[in-house]
A and B are shown apart, each in its own frame.
Chain A
Amino acid sequence: MQLRTLTPQKIYILIGYAVAATALFCAPMVLSDFRLNLLAKFLAFAIVALGLDLIWGYTGILSLGHGVFFGLGAYAMGMYLKLEASGGRLPDFMDWSGLSALPWFWKPFESFPFAIAMGILIPALLALILGFFTFRNRIRGVYFTILTQALVIITVTLFIGQQKFTGGTNGLTGFTTVLGHSIGSPDTKRMLYWVTAIVLIAAFVLCRFLVKSRFGKVLRAIRDGENRARFIGYNPAVYQMIAFAISAGLAGVAGMLFVLHVGIISPSTMAIVPSIEMVLWVAIGGRGTLIGAALGAVLLNYAKSAFSESYPDAWLFFLGALFVIVVVFLPKGAVGLFRKWKLPKRRRTEHEQQVGHSTV
């Protein structure tokens, strides 16, 4: 029977959430503008991590192509910002590439709501289509992962090649205003931080709702035994497609916020290395726990910027070492380690560790 009483554990968890929320909202008072902007960027990454956790941690499907979904969201927002910066004229790079008129598919991006809608819908739709052709044909495991890598290569090549439409290797930059507010001003930056914090919390609540619902239990069931779920009467392909699309949509949202904070989006941001890095945040933070994924993204990026400031060359070695340690010794990531200490043995079994390993 399920009891809804408050156990001490639940109280600790609630306190933890309260502390995290307070920290998020107090950050602008403590941090410098530069640090706040960095934190805002990390929070955007945390949104990708939540989405990745949904598909990897809960559904057992490893995507090494989330950089693409992130990038598509970022480009949607970048197109809006570019058009606003160009103020009615043709964006500069199109001029250089010899275009004389704005391409038809750029036009609607003058509208901010349209850009936002596309920043979510395009990645989600692409994921749905990719999922349709793979999950329905029972392509999974490492084969699916390789396909996501191929998706990255195709997309990056396409974006670099179509310079007159995408800005090529340089991507989109030179933004000035967002909704009429100067994009570089401290006030706008602070506002964007708040927006990001709120979106992150909303994304967290959404993911929590999803994983706690019966839908989430079916996702975990599919992760544990896809065939068994099938013989109970669930169609795993549909569940996987939906989870993958939601995950991609979240990556798109994160990409849009990222552009607003960073002011540039180029194909290198959605290439293979960033895509893999996203997976590392989730792996190190704690796969299969939402808070672990989000914390992993924030802390690792914090460590990355701290490290790169003092030892720019050592970062990648450090990250690699950390990944090896986590995969070998902590299959459930940092949060798993914490749980091992804090929570009683009640629900843990040696089996979980096996399952943890098998999905790598």
Chain B
Amino acid sequence: MSNKSVILQCEAVTVEFDGFKAVQGMHLALEKGELRFLIGPNGAGKTTILDVICGKVKPSSGKVLFSGDVDITRKKEHQIAELGIGRKFQTPSIFPTLTVFENLEIAMKQNRSVFSTLWAKMRTEDEDRIHNQLVMIGLEDKAQWRAGGLSHGEKQWLEIGMMLLQEPEILLLDEPVAGMTDKETDKTGELLHEIARQQSIVVVEHDMEFVRNFASKVTVMHEGKLLKEGTMDEVQGDDRVAEVYLGKKRRDVDVSRSTA
């Protein structure tokens, strides 16, 4: 792993909530164009580390470097988002009273100052981009629906679509396939691979089937620490990982397919 292609580096990140260490000295290096899966039992600190990267939570110590030298731990959420780090939360969080089209319109990569949104005109190429995105996420018939009226799965797709239009360099996804059918899950997995050709992705996931099918590299966290990093086979073959997942020594992580 040469240092040049590293786009995101967490160095000894520690997060404390009222004395409780949710994350302790976590290291994570993400390369450009990498699709990384982050797994671990409940309370392992997976979501917290995503929160740190996107600025929602400030670490008590440690650094997060973006594209080599920008320490983003001191920046505000909207500044981090503008640098090119997009976040999808666990529960779909779209804007319910805006239409599907409007959701995509404001998410689209653009100048986000008050002045430019005041005078923003819908250009044909923007409209085409939004339309293409609508087709891709399968919501072209519902473009004028209020987003609040969509089904759970549709909201997930809308949020993914919003994130893609945002064109971030790093996508942070928290359980993107929760509540999706098997077919939708496969579609999402393929989509992630496609995105990872140009952008980098970190996915927190509980669905082991999904992880096994689509992961190239997996990071396992436990009690706020890095437990194991490697390919899916390496991780599955690791005794400590099996122990953590099942509470006793077993070699098969697969059993924990539910929500471990």
A residues sitting closer than 8 Å to B (CB atoms) are 1-2, 210, 213-215, 217-218, 220-221, 223-225, 227-236, 238-239, 242, 346-349, 351-352, 355
Does residue B52 face the partner (Cβ distance < 8 Å to A)? no
Question: Distance in Å from the Cβ of B79 to the closest Cβ of chain A?
Answer: 8
Q: A1-B143, A228-B95 are in contact. List 16 more A-B contacts (CB 8 A).
A: A1-B101, A1-B127, A1-B131, A213-B120, A217-B98, A221-B98, A221-B106, A228-B89, A232-B112, A232-B166, A234-B106, A236-B78, A347-B144, A348-B146, A349-B149, A351-B97
Our pick among B89, B105, B146 for the contact of A349 (Cβ within 8 Å) is B146
**Which residues of chain B have C-beta atoms less than 8 A from A239's C-beta?**
114
Contact status B97-A217, CB under 8 Å:
no
Given A214-B106, A215-B117, A225-B95, residue A234 in contact with residue B145 (CB < 8 A): no
Does residue B148 face the partner (Cβ distance < 8 Å to A)? yes
Question: Distance in Å from the Cβ of B62 to the closest Cβ of chain A?
Answer: 21
**Which residues of chain B have C-beta atoms less than 8 A from A349's C-beta?**
96, 146, 148-149
Produce 1/0 per residue, B79-95, CB < 8 A to A. Answer: 00110001101000111
Contact status B117-A233, CB under 8 Å:
no
Contact status B77-A230, CB under 8 Å:
yes
Question: Distance in Å from the Cβ of B51 to the closest Cβ of chain A?
Answer: 10
Q: Please, how many angstroms separate the alpha-carbon atoms of A153 and B128 in the complex?
A: 53
Given A2-B101, A214-B120, A349-B149, residue A221 in contact with residue B95 (CB < 8 A): yes
- Interface secondary structure of A, over-half rule: helix
| 13 pairs from A and B in contact (CB 8 Å cutoff) | A2-B122, A214-B117, A215-B120, A217-B102, A224-B97, A225-B95, A230-B78, A232-B81, A233-B112, A346-B144, A347-B145, A351-B97, A352-B96
Contact status A220-B95, CB under 8 Å:
yes
Does residue B162 face the partner (Cβ distance < 8 Å to A)? yes
Q: Please, how many angstroms separate the alpha-carbon atoms of A355 and B106 in the complex?
A: 20
Question: Distance in Å from the Cβ of B57 to the closest Cβ of chain A?
Answer: 12
Given A214-B106, A347-B144, A351-B146, residue A234 in contact with residue B112 (CB < 8 A): yes
Contact status B95-A214, CB under 8 Å:
no
Contact status A215-B114, CB under 8 Å:
yes
Question: Distance in Å from the Cβ of A289 to the closest Cβ of chain B?
Answer: 12
**Which residues of chain B have C-beta atoms less than 8 A from A229's C-beta?**
95, 106
Does residue B76 face the partner (Cβ distance < 8 Å to A)? yes
**Which residues of chain B have C-beta atoms less than 8 A from A215's C-beta?**
114, 117-118, 120
Does residue B99 face the partner (Cβ distance < 8 Å to A)? yes
Our pick among A214, A225, A227, A235 for the contact of B76 (Cβ within 8 Å) is A235
Question: Distance in Å from the Cβ of B152 to the closest Cβ of chain A?
Answer: 13
**Which residues of chain A have C-beta atoms less than 8 A from B94's C-beta?**
228
Q: Please, how many angstroms separate the alpha-carbon atoms of A230 and B95 in the complex?
A: 12
Given A224-B96, A351-B149, residue A218 in contact with residue B107 (CB < 8 A): no
Does residue B54 face the partner (Cβ distance < 8 Å to A)? yes
Question: Distance in Å from the Cβ of B219 to the closest Cβ of chain A?
Answer: 22
* Max count, chain A CB within 10 A of own CB: residue among B103, B113, B118, B143: B118
Q: Please, how many angstroms separate the alpha-carbon atoms of A228 and B122 in the complex?
A: 22
**Which residues of chain A have C-beta atoms less than 8 A from B102's C-beta?**
217
Q: Please, how many angstroms separate the alpha-carbon atoms of A232 and B149 in the complex?
A: 21
Contact status B98-A224, CB under 8 Å:
yes
Question: Distance in Å from the Cβ of B158 to the closest Cβ of chain A?
Answer: 12
**Which residues of chain B have C-beta atoms less than 8 A from A225's C-beta?**
93, 95
Contact status B101-A220, CB under 8 Å:
no
